[in-house]
Amino acid sequence: MNPFRRNEHHHERNRTSTRRRFHFFSKDKNRVAGGYKAALSNPRTSRQGRKHAKQELRAMGRDRETHLPFMTKVKRALGIRSSPRQNRESNRRQERRSALL
């Protein structure tokens, strides 16, 4: 048996298993589109990044999802970000405690 010779049966077996494996690792198009939509509304995304995200969404056939609400644009221009949920809940607790005292 020559170790450098290709084994026909081994090659056949690997070919079918690789097809199944690639199907498992395929990208979910909805998640990819969701990432691009998030990039559009993210204030830390550069102008070039938002432009690229719009192009990709349009190439995917999702023209309607490239629209941004006016308030999102205003918040980005003014640098207003929503406070993290943890901070909001701790503020509510403090307000309740002060109301009880």
pLDDT for the residue 60: 94
Domain boundaries, the chain: 8-100
Nearest Cα neighbor of 65 from 19, 29, 91 is 29
Taking the alpha carbons of 32, 33, 34, 35 in that order, is the dihedral positive or negative? positive
Categorize the per-residue pLDDT at 40 as very low, low, confident or very high, splitting at 50, 70 and 90.
very high
Is the CB of residue 76 less than 8 Å from the CB of residue 43?
yes
pTM of the model: 0.54
CA distances from 48 to 5, 39, 66 (A): 52, 11, 15
Q: Is the dihedral of CA 94, 81, 34, 46 positive or negative?
A: negative
